[in-house]
Chains A and B, each alone.
Chain A
Amino acid sequence: MTPYEKLKTVRRSDRPTARDYLDLLFEDRVDLCGDRRFGDDTAITAGIGTLDGVPVTYLATEKGRDLQERMRNQFGCPKPEGYRKAIRLMRQSEKFGRPVVCLVDTLGAYCGAEAEERGQGEAIAESILTLSGLKTPTLSLVIGEGGSGGALALCTTDRVYMLENACYSVISPEGCASILWKDSSRVSDAADALHITAQDMLQFGVAEQIFDEDFKHFPAMCKTIRRQMADDLKLLSTFSLEQLLENRYNRFRKFGIFEEGGVMHGTAL
């Protein structure tokens, strides 16, 4: 499949949504609502549950399972209050020493007028900042689209996993084609140029691991994911807090491909 075909695949409405994964990854789930500031955004499903017996906080962008849900959830594009709910629960997870597990499937943060009025940029900035220094292990899994800052807000984590067809991009190929070439028919070219596939992410070090997709055996697929998450949380919990935060800092500090004094930093394609 070409990058754009992959993107179209993960956008299909018959794919499992975040809640289908939550049902199989976590037990004893209690969903929690609200940012305690303005409202509750159902585009982010959040709560507490156990992963292989360990209590964790989960934060998931939810596209919705039917049209009504999709419309209520802005098709999975979170509003500022969604990110602020996530931030509230991140801080809570730190208080109780729970790891955070994020599931991401979003075209990006919601772009409506009310989102701008309520500080969409500030909400994302605060979410990234909070995860950067959060004193508990953090994981994220991109199950479909990882759209720009709206996805990064939940992906500034110790480990990032992706499904084999999942994509992660600074801008949608549609947006890129329209801005750069004023030509929406060149979406496929934009998808190629942007390098958005899970395999690209592995190469750039943006993701650590890719999981095979096998929706015919969805419970088994989720079991594999759950095992890996549990193993990684076990490993991350052996680090001292200083080491955990140092490793997370370095994980993001390394990003950048440039020349310095004629010497390349990072690997060009």
Chain B
Amino acid sequence: MQLPFFSKKSSEKPREDLICKQCKATVPAKDAVKNRFICPSCGAYLTMTPQDRLHLVADKDSFTAFRDELKSVNFLHFPGYSEKLEKAVTATGEPDAVVCGTAAIDGTPCALFLMDTRFIMASMGSVVGERITRTFEYATAHRLPVVGFAASGGARMQEGIVSLMQMAKVSAAVQRHAAQRLLYISVLTNPTTGGVTASFAMQGDLILAEPGATVGFAGRRVVEQTTKTALPEGFQSAEFVRDHGFIDKIVPRDALRDTLATLLRLHAPRNGGIA
């Protein structure tokens, strides 16, 4: 197995102001950080980048990104995909829709992956699948827990069947990690849908979710077409999915770091226990 090398990412760009999708208020970056990415005017959850997320949950300066030079390719010559990729790379400064690495959460080391909805709705193509797979492989080899922040529109259809196979590839790596009795905490953020829900997002030992996040398999419109009735408000919300028994806990953003820290501590290897 090829292990990724470590590198410190030092390209800290100045943060841009955020716009609340609910009340349209402009939230200065400084205030957003201070308020843990909850809109100070209306209380809605602001869209977070992987870097914001790290800032929220990981110990200061503890994050080390896996260094790779992976780049998505329009291998099917799918109409419009090359342009979409280019736009997303420019907009995010990232090569694809997930950031992976290691960090500490209140002192407990773990491997992390953080999906980025700004990049083609964090759809999963070859690069996303490969990066998350390597994260689980690294965590298995180094006996680390994995904390994953899921967010995705689903599989990246512009990569055809190869994107579907990413679901199987990542799942196999999750299975190997689990077989070593290592912890995987899946945190569902807005929105977690499609092939990501139908694979690693729902394979956590513990599944947490942010309040109000959309969590589902089929899209709302598809369900409405199938059922031929309008769906109630809150259908496929994290609370709905928890009430139906598929999420362990809804965790507000300002409690996320503490909850993760406690859960990680509760799973720390014990002396004389089962390693």
Interface residues of A (CB under 8 A from B): 109-113, 115-122, 124-126, 128-129, 132-133, 148-149, 152-153, 156, 168-171, 175-176, 179-180, 189, 193-196, 200-201, 204, 206, 248-249, 252-253, 255-262, 264, 266-269
B174 CB contacts on chain A under 8 angstroms: 129
Whether the Cβ atoms of B129 and A256 lie closer than 8 Å is: yes
- Stretch from B48-56, B100-108, B162-170, B252-260 forming part of the interface with A: B162-170
Interface residues of B (CB under 8 A from A): 68-73, 75-80, 126-127, 129-130, 133, 155, 157, 159-169, 171-176, 179, 194-195, 197-203, 215-218, 222-223, 225-227, 229, 231, 235-236, 241, 244-246
- Give the distance to chain A from B86, nearest Cβ to Cβ, in Å: 14
Secondary structure of the B contact surface, majority rule: helix
Whether the Cβ atoms of A118 and B167 lie closer than 8 Å is: no
Q: Tell me, in angstroms, the Cα distance from A120 to B70 when the chains sit together.
A: 32
Contact of A204 among B77, B162, B198, B227 (CB under 8 A): B162
Q: Which 8 A-B pairs have the closest CB atoms?
A: A121-B197, A268-B75, A255-B165, A121-B217, A111-B218, A256-B126, A124-B198, A125-B202
A132 and B171 in contact (CB under 8 A), knowing A116-B216, A149-B198?
Answer: yes
Whether the Cβ atoms of B166 and A156 lie closer than 8 Å is: no
Q: Residue on B with the closest CB to A108?
A: B218
Q: Residue on B with the closest CB to A133?
A: B175
Whether the Cβ atoms of A116 and B218 lie closer than 8 Å is: yes
A266 and B246 in contact (CB under 8 A), knowing A152-B168, A252-B169?
Answer: no
A195 and B161 in contact (CB under 8 A), knowing A117-B244, A257-B73, A258-B73?
Answer: yes
A179 and B165 in contact (CB under 8 A), knowing A115-B217, A260-B71?
Answer: no
Q: Tell me, in angstroms, the Cα distance from A14 to B175 when the chains sit together.
A: 40
